[in-house]
Amino acid sequence: MKDKKVAHLIEAETKRQRVGLELIPSENYVSADVLDALGSVFTNKYSEGYPGKRYYGGQDNTDPLEQLAIDRAKQLFGSDHANVQPHSGAPANIAVYQAWLEPGDTVMAMKLDHGGHLTHGHPITSSAKLYNFVRYGIKDLETGEIDYEQMREVALKEKPKIILAGFSGYPRNLDYAKFAEIGKEVGAMLMADMAHIAGLIAGKALPNPLDFGFHVITSTTHKTLRGPRGGLILSNGKVTNPLKAPEKTLENLPTLIDREVFPGFQGGPHMHTIAAKGVAFNEALEPDFQVYAKQIIANASRLANELMKRGFKLVTNGTDNHLIQIDMTQSFKIDGREAQEILDTIGLTANCNAIPNDKLPPFRPSGLRLGTPAITTRGLKEDDMEKVAEWMKQAIKNRKDEKILNTLSIEVKEFASRFPLPSDN
């Protein structure tokens, strides 16, 4: 690369990723093939529209490329339709809201501090200005069980047009059948934002909301799904010509969504990213990916146990997925941000996060959020979780002792260097 400054930063970032252990649950390491596709000449091409219905010439290769990505996504999740154009998870959610709602309509989503995502109507988002968000949440913080009775009561009263299942900070499984039952009773469209767990669903380690009557799944492609940064929308229904406005019915959701992604909300698709999504979907269709998905959960479950043994107080006392939330204020009398910064000094990357009913502010919350998708990609297994938990405990306990922190940092570096990045091979 001629640009020495950027080349230097890429090299430094590669090194950072090699010598550290990535515990942020929304991050992962992609394969060399995904990186190749992402860095390909498809970035040069404009292809507004959809396969066979483009506005510019020269679509000989983009049409079959996008169709391939669509077909693979449909196969992976068993949906009638896939839109692979959303630039990321947030635009995917906005496109679905706009396809189905009118301004002022109501959406029912998880309480944000119980695990809901910013795009589920955080007051600072544009969605919250357009739509009315009502909430469901956890009934029992010790088990994490959702209060489905309260959910039904609020749904009956507020008549939401969308009931949204999904989270970025909830370590337990949702009961999709209950969501579907309530959705049916109040006539809501059922949307699942699977940004965090799409890879676990694709790898058949967790249930698929579409099997329970959900109408739409939105997702990112870069978290557990291990593809490029991007978004994805899956839907069931009839696919008709996106150039003609269809009636607003559940059956027409695929077409309503296509029209909203382009031209409703986005311009030209990023074809290089779509190429990389295609590669990632194909990797996720391999039997190996199911082994990977199950290992993510096995590792998370073991890590949760090892942490609890060492005095960490986990929100809901464990995990069913890839994600762990620790209440640091109850564990070691520090806040989540302080914990994040201490772990950073020894090469363990995690992120601070609000916990249910957090008494501290969002920039300095009580929680620390961890996950196993990235370290599982590196090749770590259950027994390695003991080491990770012990390093965490030692670093936090000895946070004022630079000598100990330095020793821990060398240990982590030596250990991590034994597990190459997939793109190193």
Ligand X SMILES: *Cc1c(COP(=O)(O)O)cnc(C)c1O
Q: Binding residues for ligand X, per CB under 6 A?
A: 26, 88-90, 93, 117, 119, 166-168, 193, 195-196, 220
The least CB distance from residue 85 to ligand X, in Å, is 14
Q: Which is nearer to ligand X, 67 or 173 (CB)?
A: 173
Q: What 3-state class would DSSP assign to 124? A: coil
The least CB distance from residue 6 to ligand X, in Å, is 23
User: How far apart are the C-alpha atoms of 343 and 323, rounded to whole Å?
Assistant: 17
71, 76, 82, 84: CA torsion to nearest 10 = -90
The least CB distance from residue 108 to ligand X, in Å, is 15
Query: What burial letters (b/e) apply to 234-266, b meaning 16+ CB within 10 Å?
Result: bbbbeeeebeeebeeebebbbbbbbbbbbeebb
| Pairing label, strands 106-110, 162-166 | parallel
The least CB distance from residue 213 to ligand X, in Å, is 20
The least CB distance from residue 409 to ligand X, in Å, is 29
Tokens 């959900």: give the residue.
214
Tokens 């196969």: give the residue.
75
Annotated active-site positions, please? Answer: 46, 48, 193, 220, 223, 229
Q: Which is nearer to ligand X, 90 or 303 (CB)?
A: 90
Residue 315 CB coordination number (10 Å): 28
- Residue positions counted in the chain: 425
Provide the token pair at 207: 């249930």
User: How far apart are the C-alpha atoms of 363 and 288, rounded to whole Å?
Assistant: 39
Longest CA span, the chain? 67
Question: Mutual orientation of helices 382-397 and 402-416 as an angle, nearest 10°?
Answer: 160
Tokens 């529209």: give the residue.
49
User: How far apart are the C-alpha atoms of 41 and 202, rounded to whole Å?
Assistant: 28
The least CB distance from residue 95 to ligand X, in Å, is 12
Q: Which is nearer to ligand X, 228 or 242 (CB)?
A: 228
Q: Which is nearer to ligand X, 27 or 147 (CB)?
A: 27
Q: Which of 292, 267, 289 is nearest to 280 (CA)?
A: 289
Provide the token pair at 403: 């000598």
The least CB distance from residue 119 to ligand X, in Å, is 5
Find residue 235's DSSP bridge partners: 81, 216
Q: What 3-state class would DSSP assign to 380? A: coil
The least CB distance from residue 169 to ligand X, in Å, is 8
Q: Which is nearer to ligand X, 62 or 221 (CB)?
A: 221
- In 286-362, where does DSSP find H-type helix? 287-309, 328-331, 336-345
Give, in order, the Cα–Cα distances in Å from 336 to each of 149, 327, 407: 32, 8, 23
User: How far apart are the C-alpha atoms of 253 and 238, rounded to whole Å?
Assistant: 7
Q: Which is nearer to ligand X, 228 or 347 (CB)?
A: 228
Q: Which is nearer to ligand X, 167 or 292 (CB)?
A: 167
* Residue of minimal Cβ distance to ligand X: 89
Which residue type is seen at 166?
G
User: How far apart are the C-alpha atoms of 216 and 374, rounded to whole Å?
Assistant: 27
User: How far apart are the C-alpha atoms of 31 and 38, rounded to whole Å?
Assistant: 11
Q: Which is nearer to ligand X, 163 or 396 (CB)?
A: 163
